[in-house]
Structure 1
Amino acid sequence: MSVHLVTGGGTGIGAAIARRLAADGHDVVVAGRRAGPLEAVAAESPRIVAMVADAADGAAMRALVGEVRDRHGNLDGVVANAGGHGYDAVGDTSDDAWHASLEANLTTAFVTARESLPLLEADGGGSLVVVSSLAGLRAAPDTAGYTVGKHALLGLVRSIARDYGRRGVRANAICPGWVRTPMADDEMRVLVEDGGAADVEGAYARVTRDVPLGRPAAPAEIAGVAAFLLGADASYVHGATIVVDGGAHVVDVPTLAFG
């Protein structure tokens, strides 16, 4: 079967993608900065291997991709899922916070793609999936660094799609809305602390009350879309942005008062 690399693979969406790919019979390398969560995911399946690396570090990712090549001989798919925070308005964002947010949300995907593309091109090509966010299409309050980074990911995918399609590499983006992950749980707790909800469940209900499906996604639902994009059934899907948000992006905000 094929070999896939998933960055940010220790928790949340990345871990769910690794589990789905392994369940489908693929070999999976999960990468991230923290050994503990990665090893916990790897322990769930003999098809999953944990490798510690900072996805924003070119030398580290070059070494990791080289190890994948030495171990497996090929690389068929890459999921650039690593990301981070960036929660302040522009005027309240320090230089350090700005650079940290862009490094976590944009540079990780850029470096992962750059270091993986030569191996993806080999043996007839491969597939790159970049996990952006609904914040890559819209803007939430006080999230300048996160919003800009996630928007820029879509430009990165389109650039790769334009340049590498003829070389056999497909590149696509996923934009999830609210997903039940540890990072989203932390955001729900902030809403609880601010008095916006009684508990985490109430917070999820509040942030999805205007979402047509009326609930957050499970990580496995995002993983299913990633598995599709990596697979043969998506062989002519290229340069696309797939929104997986329960319909949130179709809502006409000025008409919410009408129910």
Structure 2
Amino acid sequence: MTLEGKHALVTGGGTGIGLAIARDLAAKGAQVTITGRRQEVLDTVAAESAGLFGLAMDVRDEADVIDKVAAAVAERGPVQVCIANAGIAEGRAVHKMDLAFWRNMMATNLDGAFLTIRESLKSMRETDWGRVIAVASVAGLRGLPGAACYTASKHGMVGLIRALSEDYLGRPITFNALCPAYVDTEIVDRNTASISQRAGVSADEAREIMVSANRHRRLIRPEEVAAAAAWLVSPGSESVNGQAIEIAGGMM
């Protein structure tokens, strides 16, 4: 399979799942714009491959998203693969949650996905093929204990994808969400410390809480999520549309 001549945009592309997807798309021939808030991280990653291009962008900032996506399109052509991946994950009980915490989570996860997709569609709509993939979570399909805000944001992402798939039925653009369980990324590392502090357990015990939540009792590799994204941009996936695909090691 080749993506030669295609421009892909991956938010949160400097680390974790986004980086795994970006590397895979570049290996398939795409010109991949990776975004994140730390230009130095993006520059280090972009040095790996002639097909990767780092562009600092804050998905919470509408003006920044508008300007940076337009700049990427001017440099590399219309976005035909949009991966709305940038996000944060943090648990907090509702009765201990202030509005600033809620709004930052929504601004990053849900508003960020909306803005990224909206701006990508401006050029994608003018082409004959497009793929939009939101990296949501199993928390987008069911409640995650102790993480009401995160759960709500990921449910919103899945709902956005399902609605857009209906809006574009019959056109050569598909919209799907990937819903992984706990993935072995920096987010798990950060949550290990948070869970350890909140639950009063050791770091190893905190990590085991996340590992045991996955039905196959191991953390998912970012490359496993990237493989699902690769399928969705491959020939033969044209009729997969409006789906929330679980990557969770078993039924949950």
Flag whether TM exceeds 0.5 (same fold). yes
The residue identity in structure 2 corresponding to 1:213 is: H
1:242 aligned residue: 245
Alpha-carbon distance between aligned partners in 1 of 2:140 and 2:122, rounded to the nearest angstrom? 27
Alpha-carbon distance between aligned partners in 2 of 1:84 and 1:131, rounded to the nearest angstrom? 11
Deviation at 1:166, TM superposition (A): 3.2
The structure 1 residue matched to 2:8, chosen from 4, 7, 27, is 4
Question: Does 1:145 pair with 2:149?
Answer: yes
2:223 aligned residue: 220
Alpha-carbon distance between aligned partners in 2 of 1:233 and 1:57, rounded to the nearest angstrom? 36
Is the 2:215–2:248 Cα contact (8 Å) retained in structure 1?
A: no
Alpha-carbon distance between aligned partners in 2 of 1:58 and 1:228, rounded to the nearest angstrom? 30
Deviation at 1:20, TM superposition (A): 1.1
Alpha-carbon distance between aligned partners in 2 of 1:210 and 1:171, rounded to the nearest angstrom? 28
Is the 1:101–1:146 Cα contact (8 Å) retained in structure 2?
A: yes
2:73 aligned residue: 69
Deviation at 1:167, TM superposition (A): 3.5
The structure 2 residue matched to 1:182, chosen from 183, 186, 189, is 186
Question: Does 1:208 pair with 2:211?
Answer: yes
Deviation at 1:33, TM superposition (A): 1.4
**Number of aligned residue pairs:** 247
Question: Does 1:120 pair with 2:124?
Answer: yes
Alpha-carbon distance between aligned partners in 2 of 1:24 and 1:110, rounded to the nearest angstrom? 26
The residue identity in structure 1 corresponding to 2:20 is: A
Alpha-carbon distance between aligned partners in 1 of 2:203 and 2:101, rounded to the nearest angstrom? 30
1:241–1:227 CA distance, 2 compared to 1 (3 A):
same
Gap runs ≥5 in structure 1? 252-259
Deviation at 1:210, TM superposition (A): 5.5
The residue identity in structure 2 corresponding to 1:31 is: T
Q: How does 1:1-259 map to 2 (within 5 A)?
A: 1=4, 2-193=6-197, 194-197=199-202, 199=204, 203-209=206-212, 211-247=214-250, 250-251=251-252
TM-score by structure 1 length?
Answer: 0.89
Please, what is the CA RMSD of the aligned residues? 1.7
Identity over aligned pairs, percent: 37
Is the 2:131–2:175 Cα contact (8 Å) retained in structure 1?
A: yes
Is the 2:9–2:83 Cα contact (8 Å) retained in structure 1?
A: yes
**Corresponding residue SS for 1:155:** helix
Is the 2:42–2:54 Cα contact (8 Å) retained in structure 1?
A: yes
Deviations 1:78-107 (A, max 9, x none): 000011134222222111111111101100
Deviates more, 1:24-33 or 1:60-69: 60-69
Deviation at 1:73, TM superposition (A): 2.2
Deviations 1:168-214 (A, max 9, x none): 22100000101000011111233445453453xx5444433363322
Deviates more, 1:59-68 or 1:74-83: 59-68
The residue identity in structure 2 corresponding to 1:240 is: Q
**Corresponding residue SS for 1:41:** helix
The residue identity in structure 2 corresponding to 1:218 is: R
Quick check: which one's helix share is greater?
Answer: 1
Deviation at 1:68, TM superposition (A): 2.2
**Corresponding residue SS for 2:145:** coil
